[in-house]
Amino acid sequence: MVDTIIHLDKELLIFLNNLGNEQWDSLWLVITKQLYWTPLFLLVFYLVIKSLGWKRGGFAILAMILLVAFSDQFTNLIKNSVERIRPNNDPEIKHLLRTFIKPQSFSFMSGHATTSTFFSVFVVLLLKDKFKYIYLILLFPLIFSYSRLYLGVHFPIDISVGILIGILFANIYYQLYKIADRKLFA
C-alpha cells in the first residue's frame, strides 16, 4: 500500500513537473524565493497595524515572526526524522524531471508549503473581520508551494502534508494567540 502511494506520488510529480516550459522557468525560480514575496509581507504588516493599532498590531507581528521560526524548525525536525530524498536527488526519477535548483536537504515535508500556509491562514483568521479580500492571501501558499513541484524539488505528498499541517497549526496557534491577546490587552 505504501509503495503504491509513493509510486503514484512520483508519477504525479513527473507529470506536473513536465507541464512546465522554458518560457515560464525564470518566473517560477523567482516565485520560489521568499525574498521576492517581501511586498506581500509588508502589506500584511501594514494591514495588521492599521486594523489593530501599534500595540496589538506589534504583538500580532511578533506572533507571526515566532510562527515562522517555529514552523521552520518543526519542518526541519520532520525532514531530518523522515529523511525522504528529494526528487531532484532520487536516482529512480531525477532524469525524468526538469530541475533548476539542487537542494540537498530532505524532502518530507515541504517547509515552503507548511510555513506559507501556516502564515496565510493565521493572517486570514486574524483579519477576516476587518478586510473582506484578505482571503486572497491564500493564493500565496498555493503558488509558492506549486513552485516546488515545478522546480522538481518536492513530491506532491510533501506539499499536501505541508499544507494540511499549516492549516492545523494556524488554527491552534490562532486560538493560543487570542488567549494571549485577551490577557495582555483586556
- How many domains would you assign to the chain? 1
Reference 139, options 51, 61, 31, 58; nearest CA is 31
- 70 sits in which H/E element: helix 38-82
Q: Which three cell numbers stand for residue 30?
A: 523567482
pLDDT at res. 99: 87
pLDDT at res. 8: 96
pLDDT at res. 118: 97
Rounded to an integer, what distance in angstroms lies between the CA atom of residue 101 and that of residue 156?
17
The CATH number assigned to the domain holding 53 equals 1.20.144
pLDDT at res. 186: 77
pLDDT at res. 63: 96
Running DSSP on this structure, what letter comes out for residue 86? P
Mean pLDDT of the chain: 95
Below-50 pLDDT ranges, the chain: none
pTM of the model: 0.93
Residue ranges making up the domain that contains 114: 2-185
Rounded to an integer, what distance in angstroms lies between the CA atom of residue 70 and that of residue 181?
19
122-127's contacts with Cβ under 8 Å and 24+ in sequence apart are 122/63, 122/64, 122/67, 122/170, 122/173, 122/174, 122/177, 123/44, 123/48, 123/64, 125/170, 125/171, 125/174, 126/48, 126/60, 126/174, 126/177, 127/47, 127/48, 127/51
